Amino acid sequence: MAYNLLLEYGSGGTLAERINKLGLAEFEVRLYTRSMLRGLNHIHAIGYVHCDMKPENVLLVPNSSKGSVEFRAKIGDLGLAKRENQSKKRRLETYWRGTPMYLSPEAVADNVQESPADIWALGCIVLEMLTGKPPWDRKDAEDVLKKIGEGHELPEIPGDLSKEAKDFLKGCFVRKPTYRWTAEMLLIHPFVEGLCDNDDGVEERQEVEDINEVDSMQLVTETDDEVSILKKIGAAFRRGIRWYWSEDDTEIT
């Protein structure tokens, strides 16, 4: 008995090829980012981690939405994907999964790769789309890994990017994975919220309840669940308040 596997054809090639050939305008970057976030959100929701997010593994397919960019981004190559650890006990990997340039600090330093590692890699991809350059200036894999795992540095975010782009990248480039934004959180960030990126051309917006502003600061406590955090962040975005994760505590300011 023969089996046939039919896959969608990415006629636009890979995201890496498009970056190298054209360089990308920010509006195009926003749309591709939203598409990738929707894909990652689904992957994480069903309990998996991609483990090898990079421009070469993002395929471009024709976009039928009117008034939008030519292609939509779709995540491919799940050959290194794994089940996310569901227990509270930290599970160490016996080897690194993925490409050194896009590995997260916890993957390099602690051999831990869960869904936050995909978000770090997404940030690297977005930065590369915006600048046309890799996230790290090192070419040797060993040097890159040392800088990520031991250097306590973050990829450099150019000052000439838009406020929304810089804020989005800061949400991805948080060294502590517990404070890094999730795909669901990033989908309501102003950098990508409300953009049209599907075949039907229908905007998909997150419904977020309003909250009161207290001295221009909202506090996310340790007892807040993820839904509560999402509501607070979404309300702050609508009010135009700038927020960031503090790595020393659980405040967002």
The sign one gets for the Cα dihedral 244, 116, 187, 62 is positive
- Residues 219/190, Cβ–Cβ less than 8 Å: no
Q: Which residues pair with 58 in a beta bridge?
A: 75
Using one digit for the tens of pLDDT, what is the confidence trace for 154-167?
999 999 999 999 99
- Bridge pairing between strands 251-252 and 218-219: antiparallel
Q: Where residue 2 falls among pLDDT bands split at 50, 70, 90?
A: confident
Gap between the Cα atoms of 119 and 112, Å rounded = 14
Gap between the terminal Cα atoms of the chain: 60
Helices assigned H by DSSP within 85-200: 105-110, 115-131, 141-150, 163-172, 183-186
- Residues 218/236, Cβ–Cβ less than 8 Å: yes
Catalytic residue among 52, 118, 167, 197: 52
Q: Which residues pair with 218 in a beta bridge?
A: 252
pLDDT of 219 reads 44
Domain 15-83+93-206 classification at class level: mainly alpha
Q: Is the pTM of this model over 0.95?
A: no
Q: Answer whether residue 211 shows pLDDT above 90.
A: no
Gap between the Cα atoms of 159 and 140, Å rounded = 26
Ranges of each domain in the chain? 15-83+93-206, 209-253
Q: Is 248 a catalytic residue?
A: no
